Structure 1
Amino acid sequence: IDKDVLDTQVKDRKIQEAAEKARNEELANEMKQNDKIMCMLEERQKNDIRNINKAISEFQKNFQKPETRREFDLSDPQALKKDRPARLSDSDPRCTVSGLQKFMGEDLNYDQRMKFQKEQLREWSLQQQRDWKNALANQKFADDLYDKNRIELDQKTMAQQRKEEENRRAVCAATKDFNRTQAAELAERKKLEKYQKMKDDMDEISSLLRGDLLSENPEQAVSSFGRHRVITDRWKGMNQDQLMAIRYTQQQQVLEKLRLKEEERRKDAEWDRQSIQAARAQLLLERHQQRQNRERRRALDNLNAELSQEQKSKNIYLKEEAYSNFPTDQYYAQFNTTSR
């Protein structure tokens, strides 16, 4: 096992882990910063919405009261208490035509009515101007507050970004220095490896030139199990003595093979001769047996003819002489005469 290579691999692995850890920490810090910025933006938006709602509520509370509305008299709960009698005087504006209390064309309160209307219009105009000025003032105050908060948040964000940029530059500088050191070490290691490889190659070439393989030394092929055995990957071939011995052995083998073939041929001829003699003897024996069988058959036929003639003569005797008389009563009376 090459310990230097293992140490180098372990060192490279640690370097990779350190770089990965630094990158992960940088990403984590960036994510934290982004979260902070998002939180600050959300908080600023909430504050803006809260301030706007508060300003609207204040404006409605101060300048949009229910009693200032034109149609408030239609839903005023104190309308009956505030209501006046049906008629206060002849100049009462509530005296309509249908009441037959005031007729068209009289207009006795024209000057007073016109003065009142002008005064009322002036009051309405002044009230609208005051409402508009107050609304503008509130809007300006809200805008100023929003701008102030936004400027503060932007300043904090820029400061945080500058800090992150400085940290990033420091990390990049450290990484560059580390990479430069690693590159120098790698170049030096490659140089040493190249020198060692060249030295090993030269040693190997020198060993091969001086070795038994290229010099074709026959002793290198001798096996440790005996000189009659060789190592096949080192054997360079046989010498002339070995070749002559092999050729002589081959000639002896050829002569021995011819002798064996001649001996086998003689054996085959002897076997053929003996087979022919055995077949001839077998044929003679079969012919002798056939003659004996014919003689025995002829004698048996003669014997059977004599026996047949005797059988015929006996049958004629029995039929004509022995069985020609019938039994009498005296013959039957001799049976069943005792208790046995």
Structure 2
Amino acid sequence: MSRLRLQRELREEAAALERRRQRELQRQSRIFNARVRTIGVDKDALDAQVKERKIQEAAEKARHEELANEMKQNDKITCMLEERQKNHIRNISKAITEFQKNFQKPETRREFDLSDPQALKKDKPARLSDDDPRCTVSGLQKFMGEDLNYDQRLKFQKEQLREWSLQQQRDWKNALADQKFADDLYDKNRIALDQKAMEQQQKEEENKRAVCAAAKDFNRTQAAEVAERKKLEKYQKMKDDMAEISSLLQGDFLSENPDQAVSSFGSHRVITDRWKGMNQDQLMAIRYSQQQQVLEKLVFQLMCIFCIPRFNNIIDKVCRRKYGLPCIS
């Protein structure tokens, strides 16, 4: 078995080697043969490949479009079938419901009384009236001292409560209406009072504005008068100052007039705050008087030297008292 496998493998290797040898020979014959050898790219082969590729793409595109159209058609058919199935199921359910409603009613069933929801309402009460034959002694449905008119009394009480409630509602509505009328009247009065107050306030504001305008006019007039008076005062003050300056310049004080120092009590007296000094005549008179006094003093001294000795004491006293001369013995 292994020998057959080995022989088969050898034959396969020999066949493969032979195929490679044949391909190599074909390649060499194609390359080394100058007649069939092509240098560069085979354009015809490439064009043929491009053409085949385009044809293949067009066929592929057409096949895809056909598949898409077929899928759309299948989807439409599927939707139509589903809609038809839904309508069929709906119609069947509706028919079943109508059949059950018309021919299979619950009250026609044999055991309906066991599950009737209105069973308690349809059942008779334990006591219909006082003369009910079912009210036996053992039934415990009728006793002494019962309120037999309970239903009527309860109905009357309910009606009475209803009337009272309606009366209270009417009274409440009337009270609300009266309160609303009073509130409306109060609001109207308040609005009227507010309107009057606003008018009064407006009049007061107008009066205030008029008073303020009059005050402004009066103040403006007063300011104009004050400005005019200040202007006149300034002009008068300037005029007085000019007159004073002119008077001072032309007066006796700055001109040093000696006559202004003469007192009204006599020409021998002067006013000290106005006296500007003595004139030349007065100075000459004073100098002359001083010279006379010097001469008199000299004469007196000479007389004292040559006078009688008995008069020495008298002369000495006179000299001491009057002239301050030393005593001559």
TM range (shorter): 0.3 to 0.5
Q: TM-score, normalised by structure 1?
A: 0.42
- Asked which structure has the greater RCO (Cα within 8 Å, sep 6+), the reply is 1
Structure whose alpha-carbon radius of gyration is higher: 2
Q: TM-score, normalised by structure 2?
A: 0.43
